[in-house]
Structure 1
């Protein structure tokens, strides 16, 4: 699960994130962090829609290569 500190760094810097939800890259979400609570993260997509996603998904900067290794390993960062 992503930490409060990581989420705050991404929000303050305005980092565009990739949220890897499963093994299929088509299901990835691209956007910026706008808010979060203990279980969810709100991501604003480029089209300004807000998605409420589980914090157990894998969050990484969009500029980095897609990392789906956490899915096979079951660690669920």
Structure 2
């Protein structure tokens, strides 16, 4: 999970982020950090729409290359042990 300090740095610097939600690059979100709480982050997309995302996703500057699939967090179903 991303730290408050890192989110604050991205917000102050106005860093365009890539939010990786799963293995499919088409599902990535690009935007800027607006606000956050203990469990979620508000991101302003380039279309000016706000989306609220879970903090468990991978947040990285858009200029960095996308992480390899095997390094992404895995989703688990309830009742299923990871």
* TM-score normalised per structure 1: 0.90
Separation (CA, whole Å) in 2 of partners of 1:39 and 1:2: 10
User: When the two structures are aligned, how many residues end up with a matched partner?
Assistant: 73
Does the 8 Å contact 1:2/1:55 carry over to 2? yes
- Unaligned 5+ residue runs, structure 1? none
Does the 8 Å contact 1:16/1:31 carry over to 2? yes
Query: Any idea what the Cα deviations from partners look like across 1:8-59, whole Å, max 9, x if unmatched?
Result: 0000000000000000000000000000000000000000000000000000
**Equivalent residue for 2:71?**
70
Q: Alignment partner of 1:56: what SS?
A: coil
RCO (CA 8 Å, sep 6+): is it higher in 1 or 2? Answer: 1
**Equivalent residue for 1:58?**
58
Larger radius of gyration: 2
What is the RMSD computed on CA atoms of the aligned residues?
A: 1.2
Q: CA deviation at 1:70?
A: 2.7
